[in-house]
């Protein structure tokens, strides 16, 4: 066996001493000698013998054959190393493999000053390395270890930081990930320096309602404390960002989201222990720029001073809001937002900040647009009072026709403007998710995309698609948005609307009513505040009021965390849920159609959840949900099963031949987080073509209408395009009440 995981066995290989030699004469580490001689003084005062060697193994001392480091670096060669040192239960180098430093070479170093130091083989060894730091010659004294620094150190090399006291001795374990991992290179030990990598910077301009300050997001290298980040920000000429107002808080959150996610983002909030109002967990919080905490945006149940060590601000941004958390100075900070009063080196605008640099958009290909760093062009916008932080694109449609531009995703709705190459306005959006434009084929248009809100620099995904064919306009379509956060419409920043033809292909309609909240009263309240539609006077596909209304009430309106581009997927994102084994009932009053089809959409945040739907006492249609974890929307699939045993994954059901001015649509849940996405009531028209006036019977009124349309199309019953004797014969044959 080449080596042993139990580290002390290797110590017996110490050469037998000559007569009169003691522990220190053999060059054994002084701390090891002290441990042995405390048990047997003769090992240091008289003679080192085999009994002393056994004692060395017994005390677990591993600092034999150590290499002293005198400067800031030393050469590494583990190719002949055979010693494995287990840190199991002491220090975890990383999530992969075991907790053993394989093929270990040990280095000894004395700290020249009290400081934080970085020990590194990062990009300077040729094998998969591991590192650890001990304060003594026993693995139980390990204070830091590392396997990999993913994304920074190539070839799975290593880096760690630790605090050292001036004059104290430390021992570095340098080895490999596994038995086969040996190699050569360099080991460095240097004072810690905060590592920052700029990911994006944005100016919150006065013209947009801001303060002209710049907010920059930096990725932070491992080991930096909040206090060190505060000092580094000041060295750069700024401060950790301070959210002195709600709008400034939104801007910080916007930069946070648009430049990439981060687990722990430091900003300029801290707890002042000397403040007269200090108490845990809420008292004494201040901004590093000296500003008072005029308003708060704490996340739920925060601050909580978890572990009694959380006294520093962590920024957390979601599409539905910007929130704060308290964290410790030594938390694993991954990013920092730094605020500057003027631009810094490295700050730049996007290449397509102005029309001259416009970037082409391809039909059907999604493009993510970040407004971070963009300036505001002088171009006027006809559909909106303002457009901020715009970027420019071009689009060349392959043929003449109507095209949809969707610009609502990632918690953000963009304002858009389409112009000819000479700058003439073709059309624009006031901020809705999807807008349609009639464009000429093989003509290149300028597309301006920006933020309708001055304190938002979001990152929507935009996509051009041909406008779908409108299948039915005699339809009432309702989308239940949900409503678990703020006002239920993403803080009013991204409407959950379905406005282009949406839903199952055979029943797609142009206009949807988008209802927010847990019940119709809540929906009406949100609509009054500008979010969503009212539950009364529901629209048809033409956008006209029908007089129909809807009532509903559940205890758990829900929204799946996703940012779908298509209206059909947005329509499936929110749902009504009772959060249990119950039934959701939606009642539509004053249905204007005598006979109609009901299309019911359903979903969940997980697959294979069983349910069933029916309308006005129709037979139940059974289904299993098709939604997948991670908010992936599968293609729409119709449910047709008549019992639970044959139910398959599906997302909508069709119930035809429904009658009645009141329609009760019911969904039975067989578990939580399954719900009612929305519905459509689609007119089936009269069931007898001769009923020209639609009153449910063929009578004198229909005969009069037919004769008045003689020779034209108005009384056509047989479908030949004109009103003639054959139509008269068909009408007389159908005389009476339509069945």
pLDDT at 464 over 50: yes
350, part of any domain: no
Closest CA to 509 of 533, 459, 544: 544
Q: Report the alpha-carbon distance of residue 285 to residue 289 in Å, rounded.
A: 12
Closest CA to 111 of 119, 123, 102, 103: 119
pLDDT at 371 over 60: yes
Position 547 scores a pLDDT of 94
Q: Name the one residue in this structure whose structure tokens are 């200090």.
A: 278
Position 366 scores a pLDDT of 81
Number of domains in the chain: 6
pLDDT at 400 over 80: yes
Sheet arrangement for strand 434-439: 367-368, 461-466, 401-406, 434-439
Query: Does one domain contain both 555 and 583?
Result: yes
Name the average pLDDT for the chain: 86
Query: Does one domain contain both 483 and 626?
Result: yes
Position 488 scores a pLDDT of 36
User: 7-11, 28-32, 473-477, 591-595: which has the highest mean pLDDT?
Assistant: 473-477
Q: What are the beta bridge partners of residue 675?
A: 603
374, part of any domain: yes
Position 462 scores a pLDDT of 86
- Of the chain, the percentage scoring pLDDT greater than 70 comes to 90
Closest CA to 185 of 287, 307, 74, 286: 74
Position 420 scores a pLDDT of 94
Q: Buried b / exposed e across 637-671, counting CB within 10 Å, b at 16+? A: eebebeeeeebebbbbbbbeebeeeebebbbbbee
Question: Is the backbone peptide bond immediately before 153 cis, with ω within 30 degrees of 0?
Answer: no
Closest CA to 271 of 229, 224, 308: 308
Q: Report the alpha-carbon distance of residue 319 to residue 562 in Å, rounded.
A: 10
Of 129 and 57, the one with more pLDDT? 129
DSSP-H helix ranges across 320-395: none
Closest CA to 262 of 208, 300, 317, 210: 317
Dump pLDDT digits (tens) for 143-185. Answer: 999 999 877 788 899 999 899 999 999 999 999 999 999 999 9
Which CATH number does the domain housing residue 263 bear?
3.10.100.10
Query: Does one domain contain both 276 and 219?
Result: yes
1, part of any domain: no
- Report the SS3 class of residue 702: helix
DSSP 632: B
Q: Report the alpha-carbon distance of residue 463 to residue 443 in Å, rounded.
A: 18
Cα dihedral sign, 467-471-476-481? negative
C-alpha distances out from residue 694 to 193, 448, 680, 706, Å? 81, 48, 21, 13
Q: Report the alpha-carbon distance of residue 117 to residue 172 in Å, rounded.
A: 12
Which CATH number does the domain housing residue 101 bear?
2.60.120.380
Domain termination residue (choose one: 191, 223, 242): 191
43, part of any domain: yes
Query: Does one domain contain both 243 and 367?
Result: no
Query: Does one domain contain both 160 and 22?
Result: no
Domain termination residue (choose one: 15, 34, 58): 58
Q: Are 37 and 43 in contact (CB under 8 A)?
A: yes
DSSP 33: H
Query: Does one domain contain both 94 and 231?
Result: no
Residues in CB range of 6: below 8 A, 6 or more apart:
86
Q: Report the alpha-carbon distance of residue 77 to residue 186 in Å, rounded.
A: 8
pLDDT at 102 over 90: yes
724, part of any domain: yes
Query: Does one domain contain both 301 and 237?
Result: yes
Query: Does one domain contain both 73 and 27?
Result: no
Q: Report the alpha-carbon distance of residue 649 to residue 603 in Å, rounded.
A: 10
Q: How confident is the model at residue 16 (pLDDT cuts 50, 70, 90)?
A: very low
Q: Take residue 373 and report the two structure tokens written for it.
A: 């760093």
Closest CA to 409 of 607, 198, 631, 680: 631
Dump pLDDT digits (tens) for 569-626. Answer: 778 878 898 888 889 999 999 999 878 899 999 988 788 899 999 999 999 999 999 8
What domain range is 545 assigned to? 475-683
According to DSSP, the β-strands at 388-395 and 359-361 are parallel
Q: Take residue 480 and report the two structure tokens written for it.
A: 């239940």
Q: Are 728 and 716 in contact (CB under 8 A)?
A: no
Q: What are the beta bridge partners of residue 388?
A: 451
Dump pLDDT digits (tens) for 348-369. Answer: 999 999 999 999 999 988 888 9
Q: What are the beta bridge partners of residue 576?
A: 676
Dump pLDDT digits (tens) for 615-628. Answer: 999 999 999 998 65
Query: Does one domain contain both 457 and 568?
Result: no
Q: Report the alpha-carbon distance of residue 153 to residue 123 in Å, rounded.
A: 5
Dump pLDDT digits (tens) for 729-739. Answer: 988 988 888 76
Q: Are 652 and 504 in contact (CB under 8 A)?
A: yes
2, part of any domain: no
Query: Does one domain contain both 209 and 329?
Result: yes
Q: How confident is the model at residue 373 (pLDDT cuts 50, 70, 90)?
A: very high
pLDDT at 495 over 80: no
Question: Is the backbone peptide bond immediately before 588 cis, with ω within 30 degrees of 0?
Answer: no
Query: Does one domain contain both 503 and 554?
Result: yes
Dump pLDDT digits (tens) for 504-519. Answer: 877 777 788 888 888 9
573, part of any domain: yes
Dump pLDDT digits (tens) for 624-651. Answer: 998 654 446 777 889 999 999 999 999 9
Residues in CB range of 724: below 8 A, 6 or more apart:
710, 711
pLDDT at 10 over 50: no
Range with lowest mean pLDDT among 374-383, 524-533, 559-568, 572-581: 559-568
Phi, psi for residue 644 in degrees, rounded to 5: -65, -30
Position 564 scores a pLDDT of 67
Query: Does one domain contain both 154 and 212?
Result: no
Domain termination residue (choose one: 411, 435, 466): 466
Give, for 603, the enclosing helix (H) or strand (E): strand 595-604
689, part of any domain: no
Mean pLDDT in residue range 43-51: 83
3-class SS shares of the chain: helix, strand, coil, % to 5 = 15, 35, 50
Position 360 scores a pLDDT of 96
Q: How confident is the model at residue 459 (pLDDT cuts 50, 70, 90)?
A: confident
Q: Buried b / exposed e across 129-157, counting CB within 10 Å, b at 16+? A: bbbbbbbbbbbeebebbbbbbeeebebbb
Mean pLDDT in residue range 659-665: 93
Q: How confident is the model at residue 11 (pLDDT cuts 50, 70, 90)?
A: very low
- Of the chain, the percentage scoring pLDDT greater than 90 comes to 51
């Amino acid at each position: 066996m080449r080596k042993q995981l139990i580290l002390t066995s290797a110590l017996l290989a110490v050469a037998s001493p000559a007569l009169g030699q003691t522990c220190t004469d053999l060059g054994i580490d002084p701390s090891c000698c002290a441990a042995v001689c405390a048990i047997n003084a003769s090992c240091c005062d008289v003679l080192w013998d085999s009994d002393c060697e056994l004692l060395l193994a017994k005390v677990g001392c591993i600092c034999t054959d150590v290499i002293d480091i005198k400067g800031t670096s030393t050469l590494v060669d583990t190719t002949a190393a055979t010693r494995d040192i287990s840190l199991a239960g002491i220090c975890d180098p990383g999530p992969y493999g075991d907790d053993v430093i394989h093929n270990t070479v040990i280095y000894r170093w004395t700290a020249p000053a009290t400081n934080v130091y970085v020990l590194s083989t990062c990009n300077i060894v040729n094998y998969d390395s591991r590192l650890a730091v001990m304060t003594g010659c026993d693995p139980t004294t390990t204070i830091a270890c590392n396997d990999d620094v993913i994304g920074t150190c190539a070839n799975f090399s290593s880096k760690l930081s630790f605090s050292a006291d001036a004059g104290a001795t430390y021992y570095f374990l340098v080895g490999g990930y596994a038995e086969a991992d040996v190699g050569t290179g360099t080991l460095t030990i240097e004072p810690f320096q905060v590592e920052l990598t700029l990911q994006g910077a944005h100016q919150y301009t006065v013209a947009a309602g801001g303060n002209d300050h710049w907010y920059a997001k930096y990725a932070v290298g491992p080991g930096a404390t909040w206090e060190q980040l505060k000092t580094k920000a000041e060295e750069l000429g700024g401060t950790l960002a301070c959210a002195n107002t709600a709008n400034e808080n939104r801007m910080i959150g916007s930069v946070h989201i648009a430049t990439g996610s981060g687990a722990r983002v430091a900003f300029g909030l801290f707890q002042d222990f000397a403040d007269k109002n200090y108490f845990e967990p809420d008292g004494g919080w201040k901004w590093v720029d000296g500003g008072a905490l005029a308003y708060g945006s704490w996340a739920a149940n925060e601050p909580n001073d978890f572990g009694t060590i959380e006294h520093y601000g962590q920024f957390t941004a979601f599409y539905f809001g910007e929130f704060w958390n308290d964290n410790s100075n030594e938390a694993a900070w991954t990013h920092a937002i730094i605020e500057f009063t003027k631009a810094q080196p490295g700050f730049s605008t996007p290449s397509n900040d102005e029309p001259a640099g416009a970037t082409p958009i391809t039909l059907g290909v999604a493009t993510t647009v970040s407004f971070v760093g963009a300036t505001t062009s002088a171009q006027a916008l006809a559909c909106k009072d303002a457009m901020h932080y715009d970027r420019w694109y071009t689009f060349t449609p392959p043929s003449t026709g109507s095209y949809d531009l969707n610009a609502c995703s990632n918690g953000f709705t963009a304002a858009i403007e389409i112009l000819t190459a000479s700058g003439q306005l073709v059309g624009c959006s006031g901020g809705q998710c999807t807008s349609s434009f009639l464009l000429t084929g093989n003509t290149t248009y300028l597309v301006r995309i920006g933020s309708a809100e001055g304190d938002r620099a979001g990152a929507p995904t935009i996509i051009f698609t041909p406008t779908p064919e409108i299948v039915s306009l005699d339809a009432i379509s309702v989308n239940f948005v949900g409503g678990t956060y703020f006002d239920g419409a993403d803080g009013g920043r991204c409407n959950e609307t379905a406005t282009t033809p949406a839903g199952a292909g055979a029943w797609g309609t142009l206009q949807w009513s988008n209802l927010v909240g847990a019940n119709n009263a809540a929906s009406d309240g949100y609509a009054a505040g500008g979010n969503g539609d009212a539950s009364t006077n529901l629209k048809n596909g033409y956008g006209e009021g029908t007089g129909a209304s809807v009532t509903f009430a559940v205890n758990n309106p829900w929204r799946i965390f996703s940012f779908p581009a298509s209206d059909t997927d947005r329509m499936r994102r929110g749902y009504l849920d009772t959060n249990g084994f119950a039934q959701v009932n939606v009642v539509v009053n004053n249905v204007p159609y005598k006979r109609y089809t009901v299309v019911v959409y359903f979903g969940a945040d997980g697959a294979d959840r069983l349910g069933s739907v029916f309308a006005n006492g129709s037979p139940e249609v059974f289904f299993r949900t098709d939604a997948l974890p991670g908010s992936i929307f599968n293609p729409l699939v119709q449910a047709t099963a008549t019992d639970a045993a044959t139910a398959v994954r599906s997302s909508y059901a069709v119930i035809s031949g429904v009658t009645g001015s009141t329609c009760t649509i019911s969904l039975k849940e067989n578990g939580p987080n399954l719900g009612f996405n929305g519905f459509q009531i689609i007119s089936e028209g009269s069931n007898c073509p001769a009923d020209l006036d639609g009153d449910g019977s063929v009578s004198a009124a229909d005969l009069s209408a037919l004769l008045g349309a003689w020779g034209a199309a108005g009384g056509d019953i047989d479908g030949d395009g004109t009103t003639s004797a054959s139509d008269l014969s068909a009408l007389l044959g159908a005389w009476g009440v339509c069945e």
